[in-house]
């Protein structure tokens, strides 16, 4: 019997070597596409708002938007705040009913990361909200690294973060990068295994767009219970919308454009869901 409590579900997934897919969504149209794709495989999923989405629309409206999809989705949609570097934004999302928040203190020293994570964990506890922390770094975008030590999560640091701050789930830097990368990222599986041996927490794999299917599947057998997928969703959305709007900008009408864009995004999401769930 599957639980719907997110922390319990992720613990169960880690034990069963399964994985919840989280998709970075930006509005009602890409969320619609993800919900339809998840329905095709009868799966729950996580709708993740990056801080710019949460700040532009407000966490209250994001919550209401996802609530509205209960009539469309066949399974649970978990709403998550992704990569918040702000403790206050995490608190706001918790107050507005998010299922899960990520406090990303990975750019700070370990002590500060632990402090920030602990503050969010303490705040989230009574609301029963899942907290994700990050240790090590996910490369790409503005994260510049000089050596492996700059991004690889150290096992000792993961243990310290888990024991002293108590997050429910942990994103670990093991070589993946956000966005499209010129070459397939080299995942440090031996480090992932060492981390998984050291802590019982479900682990999170970021940078889902650029990771090879077989690497995703291998990581799931080693403790990854949640994967984040973003860039492939929004770039498909923007490209497909752009192509159609460009045909005749004067007569471009959003619902007609989106009616054609949604299936394109849905197909990409379905493809990633199949990579995460090869048994389906």
Tell whether residue 85 is a contact of ligand 13P (CB under 6 A): no
Residue 140's alpha-carbon distances to 111, 191, 268, in angstroms, are: 24, 20, 21
Check residue 103 and report its DSSP letter.
Answer: E
Q: Which of 206, 215, 217, 270 binds ligand 13P (CB under 6 A)?
A: 206
Tell whether residue 230 is a contact of ligand 13P (CB under 6 A): yes
Nearer to ligand 13P by Cβ, of 66 and 275: the residue is 275
Annotated binding residue at 181? no
Half-sphere exposure of 52 (CA within 13 A, CB side): 4
Tell whether residue 272 is a contact of ligand 13P (CB under 6 A): no
Minimum distance, C-beta of residue 211 to ligand 13P, in the bound complex (Å): 8
Tell me how crowded residue 200 is: count the other CB atoms within 10 A of its CB.
Answer: 11
Site for ligand 13P in 163-182 (CB under 6 A): 178-179
Annotated binding residue at 206? yes
Half-sphere exposure of 114 (CA within 13 A, CB side): 13
Residue 106's alpha-carbon distances to 94, 100, 127, 163, in angstroms, are: 21, 18, 24, 16
Contact 117, 167 (CB under 8 A): yes
Tell whether residue 51 is a contact of ligand 13P (CB under 6 A): no
Minimum distance, C-beta of residue 106 to ligand 13P, in the bound complex (Å): 12
Q: Partners of 229 in the beta sheet?
A: 23
Annotated binding residue at 140? no
Contact 99, 79 (CB under 8 A): yes
User: What CA–CA distance (Å, rounded) separates 228 from 174?
Assistant: 14
Annotated binding residue at 214? no
Nearer to ligand 13P by Cβ, of 91 and 272: the residue is 272
Q: Which of 11, 24, 168, 217 binds ligand 13P (CB under 6 A)?
A: 24
For this structure, is 122 an active site residue? no
User: How many degrees, rounded to 5, is the angle at CA 143 between CA 230 and CA 104?
Assistant: 65
Q: Which of 84, 100, 228, 236 binds ligand 13P (CB under 6 A)?
A: 228
Minimum distance, C-beta of residue 208 to ligand 13P, in the bound complex (Å): 4
Minimum distance, C-beta of residue 276 to ligand 13P, in the bound complex (Å): 12
User: How many degrees, rounded to 5, is the angle at CA 125 between CA 121 and CA 126?
Assistant: 150
Catalytic hit among 27, 42, 67, 82: 82
Tell me how crowded residue 60 is: count the other CB atoms within 10 A of its CB.
Answer: 14
User: What CA–CA distance (Å, rounded) separates 277 from 280?
Assistant: 6
Minimum distance, C-beta of residue 169 to ligand 13P, in the bound complex (Å): 13
- For ligand 13P (CB under 6 A), the number of binding residues is 15
Tell whether residue 207 is a contact of ligand 13P (CB under 6 A): yes
For the annotated binding site for dihydroxyacetone phosphate, the residues are: 179, 207-209, 228-231
Q: What residues are labeled active site?
A: 82
Positions that interact with ligand 13P (CB under 6 A) = 24, 82-83, 178-179, 206-210, 228-232
């Amino acid at each position: 019997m599957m639980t719907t409590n997110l922390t319990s579900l992720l613990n169960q997934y880690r034990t069963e070597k399964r994985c919840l897919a989280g998709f970075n969504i930006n509005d009602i149209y890409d969320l619609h596409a993800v919900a339809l794709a998840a329905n095709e495989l009868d799966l729950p999923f996580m709708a993740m708002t990056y801080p710019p989405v949460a700040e532009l629309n407000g966490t209250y409206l994001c919550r209401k938007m996802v609530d509205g999809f209960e009539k469309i989705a066949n399974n649970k949609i978990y709403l998550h705040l992704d990569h918040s570097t702000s403790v206050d934004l995490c608190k706001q999302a918790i107050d507005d009913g998010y299922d899960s928040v990520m406090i990303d203190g990975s750019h700070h020293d370990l002590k500060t990361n632990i402090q920030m994570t602990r503050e969010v964990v303490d705040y989230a506890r009574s609301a029963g909200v899942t907290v994700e922390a990050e240790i090590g770094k996910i490369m790409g975008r503005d994260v510049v690294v000089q050596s492996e030590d700059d991004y690889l999560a150290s096992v000792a640091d993961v243990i310290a973060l888990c024991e002293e701050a108590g997050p429910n789930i942990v994103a670990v830097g093991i070589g993946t990068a956000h966005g499209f990368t010129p070459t397939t990222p080299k995942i440090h599986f031996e480090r992932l295994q060492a981390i998984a041996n050291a802590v019982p927490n479900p682990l999170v794999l970021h940078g889902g767009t650029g990771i090879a299917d077989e690497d995703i599947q291998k990581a799931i057998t080693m403790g990854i219970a949640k994967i984040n997928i973003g860039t492939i969703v929004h770039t498909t959305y923007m490209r497909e919308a752009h192509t159609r709007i460009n045909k005749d900008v004067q007569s471009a009408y959003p619902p007609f454009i989106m009616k054609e864009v949604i299936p394109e995004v849905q197909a990409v999401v379905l493809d990633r869901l199949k990579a995460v769930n090869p048994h389906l």
